Chain A
Amino acid sequence: MQSYDVVIIGAGHNGLVCAAYLLKAGYSVLLLEKRSVPGGAATTEEALPKEAPGFKFNLCAIDHEFIHLGPVVQELELEKYGLEYLECDPVVFCPHPDGKYFLGHKSLEQTCAEIARYSDRDAVKYREYTEFWQRALGAMIPMFNAPPKSIIDIAGNYDIKKLKDLFAVIGSPAKTLDFIRTMLGSGEDALNEWFDSEFLKAPLARLYAELGVPPSQKTNAVGAIMMAMRHNPGMARPRGGTGALVQALVKLVKAKGGVVLTDQQVEKVLIDNGKAVGVRVAGGVEYRANKGVISNIDAKRVFLQLIDASDVHSADPNLRERLDRRIVNNNETILKIDLALDKPLNFEHHNHDDSYLIGSILIADSVTHVEQAHSKCTLGEIPDADPSMYLVVPTMLDPSMAPQGKHTAWIEFFAPYQIAGAEGTGLKGTGWTDELKNQVADRVIDKLADYSPNVKDAIIARRVESPAELGERLGAYKGNYYHIDMTLDQMIFFRPLPEIANYKTPIEGLFLTGAGTHPGGSISGMPGRNCARIFLHEQQPIAQRFRDARDSIKSTVGSVFKGQ
């Protein structure tokens, strides 16, 4: 039997990041990926090789923001391995049906100037709003970059600037309560408090709701960072697509002696005497893990599908039921449309400018429009009577992703995983069929054509992936591309459950990483890096741990006294 120090289940970007840190610390690592390419939800693939050869598509993640809040790219020196980030500017375009539009530049000032064309008040408010959430974000960053229950790590991540942000946001008792009140509120509440104009509220509502819930959902006020981050640190895409991040990670991992095997579906985590000692893949081959098994797939899958019930039970008799019933995956996921285009979109009713196509393009006519896009999914209905969507023309920023002069479009349309009343039919009993997904895609394209009428003539080929197909490809329950919902009750030390929120599990030597762990889904690499820290910490003698703690705190204290 082949043996490694560590076996990682799944070679998504977090698994690869985690592997890189462990390899650098001197451990031997094997990654096992069930698909034929590594990357998980961070791949770039020639998805239509026959109808559209040479067109490269990001099948899931496209706009990278969170990764710029952490040190992963720098610490792993990914640029040396070929990663190059191209920054988007403008960052968001949303045409309004009445001819107005929201154009968010990377510069806050420029964005305010755009808003001021229609509303001076909202332009002023937008600045205050962004500055508020920038400070809040500054105060949160140290928490993102540490295991959620590791107070010392978190404390060590604060420097004077971040402490200032923290106190600016929380401050006095009344201010603290007010901040908590804000965090318990909904995106819609926040938007109504700050703004008057629909052309501005609608795109912001759509970005809040990118966390997978309606704008009226309470406790989602933090969704404001989905826009605030686009101003700073900014939004970027790897040259060559999201998959280029994975390519750089794979190169690094291999260069350090790591092994990545594809088409290896892990079927079982081997437990010996309460300790995870390896895995078995489909076909029966077993791989030994001397120091630990790390799961890049979510806790629910790993414990309910890959481990003997009796092994879980003897480690924690409540865990299986809690994973089964307490973790929430709502009924909302994505119907994904990829288009090969022979010309770029043209927003002719909105003084088309090619710069509109650089960032995220939102079709969000009103807050209610966005609300329905989500609340209907909750009920199992398809919100396609008047589709709202998020789209990107990645070839505008990076022409290398299509044959010369050609383009691609990436369209995200929220849709229910299980269609109400269609239980037991279609793929996996969800009600989704090829006919239905294409019918929905037609409606989405029709809606887009209201704004960019040339889209219909421009389509060379298209690929539509239904929620059920997406679920099958990613493996997550209900096709949840965040593994589990990104709602406050499942974030930070609640993710995925308090007792397993620190990347460790009740089974010795079994660790968790990936989107289902703190700080969650999206391209950040943070779950991978934080998990590696916990793993390495566990391997250290206790004296070293105390030294680390002291150094970490010292560095924060040092920063405070140096005042920088």
Chain B
Amino acid sequence: MQAYDVVIIGAGHNGLVCAAYLLKAGYSVLLLEKRSIPGGGSTTEETMPQEAPGFKFNPCAINHIFIHLGQVVEELELRKYGLEYLYCDPVVFCPHPDGKYFLAHRSVEKTCKEIARFSDRDAEQYAKYVEYWQRFVNSIDAFFNSPPKSLVDIAGNYDFKKLQDLFSVIGGVDTTLDLLRTVLSSPLDNINEYFDCEFVKAPLARMSAELSSPPSQKAMAFGAMMMVLRHNPGMARPRGGSGGLVDALVKLVTSIGGVILTEQDVEQVIVDDGKAVGVRVAGGKEYRANKGVISNIDAKRLFLQLVDEKDIDSADANLRDRLDRRIVNNNETILKIDCALSEPLKFEHHDHRDEYLMGSVLIADSVNHVEKAHTDCTIGLIPDEDPSMYLVMPTALDPSMAPEGKHTLWIEFFAPYQIAGAEGTGLKGTGWTDELKNTVADRVIDKLAQYSPNINNSIIARHVESPAELGERLGSYKGNYYHIDMTLDQMLCFRPLPEIANYKTPIDGLFLTGAGTHPGGSISGLPGRNCARVFLQEHKPIAQALKDARDTITSTVKSVFKGD
């Protein structure tokens, strides 16, 4: 049996990041990926080699934001391994049905000027909104970069600037309560408090709702981050697509001795005497893990599908039931449309400028339009009567992703995983069939054509992936591309459950990483990095652990006294 220090189940970007840190610390690492290529939700693929050869598509993640809040790219020196980030500017375009539009540049000032063309008040308010949420981000990004229950790590991540932000957001008793009140409120509440104009509110509602819940959902006000982070640190895409990040990670991992095996579907975590000691893949082959097994797939799949019931029950008698029933995956996921285009989109009713196509393009006519896009999914209906969508034409920024002069189009349309009344039919009993997904895709394209009429004549080929198919590809429950819902009750020290929120599990040597752990889904590498820290901490003698804690705290204290 082959033996490694660590075996990682799944080679998504977090698994790869985690592997890189462990390899650098001197451990041997094997990554096992069930698909034929590594990357998980972060791949770039020639999805339609016959109908559209040379067109490269991102089947899932496209715009990278959160990764710029951490040190992963710098610490792992990913540029050396070929990663190049192209920054988007403008970052968001949303045409309004009445001819107005929201155009957000990376610069807040420029964005306010665009808003001021239609509303001076909302332009001023926008600056305040961004400032408030920027301070919020600064004050919590120390949490992102640490295991959620590691107080020492969190304290060490604060420097003078971040402490200032923390106190300016929280401050006195009433200010603290007020912040808490905001956190408990909905994006809709927050947006209504700040703004008057629908052409501003609608795209902001859509952005907040990218966390996969309706704008009216309480405790989701922090979804405002989805917009303000586009101003700072900014939004970028790896040259060559999201897969460009994975390619760099793979290069790094393999160059320092890591092994990545694809088409290896892990079927069992081998537990011996309460300790995870290896895995078995489909076909029966076993791999030994001397120091630990790390799961890049979520805790629910790991424990309910890959670990023997009795092994879990003897470690924690309640865990299976809690994973099964307490973790929430709502009924909302994505119907994904990829198109190969012969020419770029043209927003002819909105004084078309090519720069509209640089960032995220939102079709969000009103807050209600966005609301319905999500509430319909909750009750199992397809919100395709008047589709709202998020689209990107990545080739505007990176022409290398298509044959010369040609373009690609990435469309995200929220749709229910389980269609109400269609239980037991279609793929996996969800009600989704090829016919249905194409009918829905037609409606989505029709809606887009109202804004960019040339789309109808420019599609060379298209690929539609239904929620059920996406679920099958990613493996997560209900096709949840965040593994589990990104609602406040499942974030931070609640993700995925309080007792396993620090990347450790009740089974000795079995660790968690990936989107289902803090700080969650999206391209950030932070779950991978945080998990590696916890793993390394566990393997250090206690004296060293204490010394590290002291050094971490000392550095924060110093920064405060230096005042920078």
Asked if A44 is an interface residue, CB under 8 A from chain B, the answer is no
Which of A181, A368, A380: most chain B CB closer than 10 A?
A181
Assess A174 versus B499: contact at CB under 8 Å? Given A184-B219, A325-B192, A368-B380: yes
CB < 8 Å neighbour of A371 from B192, B368, B379 = B379
Asked if A296 is an interface residue, CB under 8 A from chain B, the answer is no
Interface size class of B (residues with CB under 8 A): 35 or more
Say how far B192's CB is from chain A's closest CB, in angstroms: 7
Contact A378–B217 (Cβ < 8 Å): no
Assess A378 versus B216: contact at CB under 8 Å? Given A189-B328, A371-B379, A494-B180: yes
Residues from chain B with Cβ under 8 Å of A185 in the complex: 328, 489
Asked if A43 is an interface residue, CB under 8 A from chain B, the answer is no
Assess A498 versus B489: contact at CB under 8 Å? Given A184-B219, A219-B219, A488-B184: no
CB < 8 Å neighbour of B184 from A193, A368, A489 = A489
Asked if B24 is an interface residue, CB under 8 A from chain A, the answer is no
Asked if B420 is an interface residue, CB under 8 A from chain A, the answer is yes
Q: How far is the CA of A182 from the CA of B327 in the complex (A)?
A: 11
Residues from chain A with Cβ under 8 Å of B379 in the complex: 368, 371-372, 375
Contact A375–B378 (Cβ < 8 Å): yes
Q: How far is the CA of A328 from the CA of B487 in the complex (A)?
A: 20
Asked if A354 is an interface residue, CB under 8 A from chain B, the answer is no
Contact A379–B368 (Cβ < 8 Å): yes
Contact B177–A498 (Cβ < 8 Å): yes
Residues from chain B with Cβ under 8 Å of A494 in the complex: 177, 180-181, 184
Identify which of residues 459-514 in chain A touch chain B, using a CB-to-CB cut-off of 8 Å.
Answer: 487-490, 493-494, 497-499, 501
Assess A217 versus B494: contact at CB under 8 Å? Given A375-B375, A375-B378: no
Contact B181–A489 (Cβ < 8 Å): yes
Assess A368 versus B420: contact at CB under 8 Å? Given A174-B498, A177-B498, A219-B218: yes
The interface size of chain A toward B, counting residues with CB under 8 Å, comes to 41
Asked if B371 is an interface residue, CB under 8 A from chain A, the answer is yes
Say how far A332's CB is from chain B's closest CB, in angstroms: 10
Where chain B touches its partner, the secondary structure class is: helix
Asked if B75 is an interface residue, CB under 8 A from chain A, the answer is no
Contact B489–A189 (Cβ < 8 Å): yes
Contact A181–B181 (Cβ < 8 Å): no
The contact string, 1 if C-beta is below 8 Å from chain B, for chain A 362-383, is 0000001001100100111000
Identify which of residues 210-235 in chain A touch chain B, using a CB-to-CB cut-off of 8 Å.
Answer: 213-214, 216-220
Residues from chain A with Cβ under 8 Å of B84 in the complex: none
Q: How far is the CA of A38 from the CA of B488 in the complex (A)?
A: 43
For residue B325, which residue of chain A has the nearest CB? Answer: A193
Residues from chain B with Cβ under 8 Å of A181 in the complex: 489-490, 494, 497-498
Q: How far is the CA of A229 from the CA of B325 in the complex (A)?
A: 25
Contact A330–B174 (Cβ < 8 Å): no
The contact string, 1 if C-beta is below 8 Å from chain A, for chain B 216-240, is 1111100000000000000000000
Residues from chain B with Cβ under 8 Å of A131 in the complex: none
For residue B492, which residue of chain A has the nearest CB? Answer: A177
Q: How far is the CA of A194 from the CA of B325 in the complex (A)?
A: 8
Residues from chain B with Cβ under 8 Å of A488 in the complex: 184, 218-219
Residues from chain A with Cβ under 8 Å of B174 in the complex: 498-499
Assess A493 versus B177: contact at CB under 8 Å? Given A184-B488, A219-B184, A368-B420: yes
Say how far A562's CB is from chain B's closest CB, in angstroms: 34
Contact B217–A217 (Cβ < 8 Å): yes
Say how far B328's CB is from chain A's closest CB, in angstroms: 5
For residue A178, which residue of chain B has the nearest CB? Answer: B498
Asked if A285 is an interface residue, CB under 8 A from chain B, the answer is no
Say how far B273's CB is from chain A's closest CB, in angstroms: 25
Q: How far is the CA of A372 from the CA of B377 in the complex (A)?
A: 12
Contact B189–A328 (Cβ < 8 Å): yes
Residues from chain B with Cβ under 8 Å of A180 in the complex: 494
For residue A149, which residue of chain B has the nearest CB? Answer: B173
Identify which of residues 140-161 in chain A touch chain B, using a CB-to-CB cut-off of 8 Å.
Answer: none
Contact B185–A328 (Cβ < 8 Å): yes
Asked if A326 is an interface residue, CB under 8 A from chain B, the answer is yes
Q: How far is the CA of A420 from the CA of B386 in the complex (A)?
A: 16
For residue B221, which residue of chain A has the nearest CB? Answer: A489
CB < 8 Å neighbour of B372 from A213, A379, A487, A497 = A379
Q: How far is the CA of A498 from the CA of B174 in the complex (A)?
A: 6
Say how far B114's CB is from chain A's closest CB, in angstroms: 23
Identify which of residues 317-353 in chain B touch chain A, using a CB-to-CB cut-off of 8 Å.
Answer: 325-326, 328, 330
Q: How far is the CA of A501 from the CA of B174 in the complex (A)?
A: 10
Residues from chain A with Cβ under 8 Å of B328 in the complex: 185, 189, 192
Residues from chain B with Cβ under 8 Å of A489 in the complex: 181-182, 184-185, 189, 218-219
Say how far A261's CB is from chain B's closest CB, in angstroms: 36
Asked if B178 is an interface residue, CB under 8 A from chain A, the answer is yes
Asked if B193 is an interface residue, CB under 8 A from chain A, the answer is yes
Which of A214, A218, A371: most chain B CB closer than 10 A?
A218
Residues from chain B with Cβ under 8 Å of A189 in the complex: 328, 489
Q: How far is the CA of A306 from the CA of B173 in the complex (A)?
A: 28
Residues from chain B with Cβ under 8 Å of A218 in the complex: 213, 217-220, 487-489
Q: How far is the CA of A497 from the CA of B180 in the complex (A)?
A: 11
Contact A379–B375 (Cβ < 8 Å): yes
For residue B178, which residue of chain A has the nearest CB? Answer: A498
Asked if B493 is an interface residue, CB under 8 A from chain A, the answer is yes
Q: How far is the CA of A182 from the CA of B322 in the complex (A)?
A: 12
The contact string, 1 if C-beta is below 8 Å from chain A, for chain B 494-509, is 1001110100000000
For residue B328, which residue of chain A has the nearest CB? Answer: A189
Say how far B322's CB is from chain A's closest CB, in angstroms: 9
Residues from chain B with Cβ under 8 Å of A177 in the complex: 493-494, 498, 501
Say how far B190's CB is from chain A's closest CB, in angstroms: 9
Report B's interface with A, CB cutoff 8 A: 173-174, 177-178, 180-182, 184-185, 189, 192-194, 213-214, 216-220, 325-326, 328, 330, 368, 371-372, 375, 378-380, 420, 487-490, 493-494, 497-499, 501
Q: Which A-B residue pairs are the 3 nearest by beta carbons?
A: A184-B489, A498-B177, A177-B498
- Between A and B, 25 residue pairs with Cβ closer than 8 Å are A177-B498, A178-B497, A178-B498, A180-B494, A192-B325, A194-B325, A216-B330, A216-B378, A217-B217, A218-B218, A219-B184, A325-B193, A328-B189, A368-B420, A375-B378, A375-B379, A380-B368, A487-B185, A489-B189, A489-B219, A494-B181, A498-B177, A498-B178, A498-B181, A501-B177
Apart from A174-B498, A184-B219, A185-B489, 6 more pairs, CB < 8 Å: A184-B489, A218-B219, A368-B420, A371-B378, A489-B182, A501-B177
